[in-house]
Homo-oligomer: A and B are copies of this chain.
Amino acid sequence: LPRTIRITIAYDGTDFAGWQFQTGQRTVQAELEAALKRITGEDIRAVASGRTDSGVHAYGQVVGFRTESALSAYVFGRALAAELPRDLVIVDAREASEDFHAIRDVITKRYRYVINDGPVPNVFARAYCWQVRRRLDAERMHRAAQAWVGQHDFSSFEASGSPRVSAVRTVTEFAVHRREPDEPDAIWFEVEADGFLYNMVRTMVGTLIEIGRGVRPEEWTAEVLASANRRVAGITVPPQGLFLMRVHYADPVADLNKPVVLG
């Protein structure tokens, strides 16, 4: 009887050409499906909550797949822990309802973008943040970002050519804060929404930095949103600062703040 397994994975995006399978490229999907093939002998199709681009990281990407195997979810987890490469780890594995679908069933997703604006580059975070030379005003960016909370048409922040039916999304939280006192040169941008358009977080951050630098007024976020025009918004900031933090599902079993870890 085919079953559905739901796993949570973390990966360092540095050496991956993103999530999605591409011939001749090292992708997360290809590594995961190859490991599942070694474990079960089956050609398993892994479905993630959404793609991540080349260089983008994940703390809590969720993946569902169907299998004929009789292995328990726990044994799947242990086997994947042994089979996966060092930059791709399994955090959680569990049985899902048979009709669980990792894309369709998403309630909200949470992303973090990390900027380091210290005068000296952080030599240990080169692959995990975007380094800017000019100091940014985090509180100003936080206030400005509140204009985006709620249900809006986010066309201004969608990469051109994206084939979406609707650009309306609901942002439930947008928090910007400097990591005082431990990392005073790091700024975290944390965004939660019921869905994200292509490059939406990176373009929102690219818009906020103009406000953080003082080049634009705080009210500019509302103007950019109202324009529904990608050319009005800021740049798309680079991928290595972006982390998919968590995906929240309606399934009450799957809805845990902290995934059950494989001890």
Contact = CB atoms under 8 A, between A and B. Distances in A.
Interface of A: 10-12, 57, 86-91, 118-121, 123-124, 126, 128, 182, 261-263
26 contacts: A10-B120, A10-B123, A11-B123, A12-B123, A12-B124, A12-B126, A57-B124, A86-B121, A86-B123, A86-B126, A87-B123, A87-B126, A88-B123, A89-B120, A89-B121, A89-B123, A90-B120, A91-B120, A118-B261, A119-B261, A119-B262, A119-B263, A120-B261, A120-B262, A124-B128, A182-B182
Contacts of A88: 123
Nearest to A128: B124
Question: 6 closest Cβ contacts across the A-B interface?
Answer: A119-B261, A10-B123, A119-B263, A12-B123, A89-B123, A91-B120
Interface-central residue, A86, A124, A128, A263, by most chain B CB under 10 Å: A124
Contacts of A123: 10-12, 86-89
A11 B11 CA distance: 24
A94 to B, nearest CB: 15
Contacts of A57: 124
Contacts of A10: 120, 123
A262 B38 CA distance: 52
A3 B123 CA distance: 29
A76 to B, nearest CB: 15
Contacts of A263: 119
Nearest to A133: B263
Contacts of A89: 120-121, 123
Contacts of A119: 261-263
Contacts of A261: 118-120
A87 to B, nearest CB: 6
A19 to B, nearest CB: 15
A260 to B, nearest CB: 10
Nearest to A87: B123
Nearest to A179: B182
Nearest to A9: B123
A69 to B, nearest CB: 23
Contacts of A121: 86, 89
Nearest to A10: B123
Nearest to A243: B124
A119 B91 CA distance: 9
Contacts of A262: 119-120
Given A10-B123, A12-B124, 17 more contacts: A12-B123, A12-B126, A86-B121, A86-B123, A86-B126, A87-B123, A87-B126, A89-B120, A89-B121, A89-B123, A90-B120, A119-B261, A119-B263, A120-B261, A120-B262, A124-B128, A182-B182
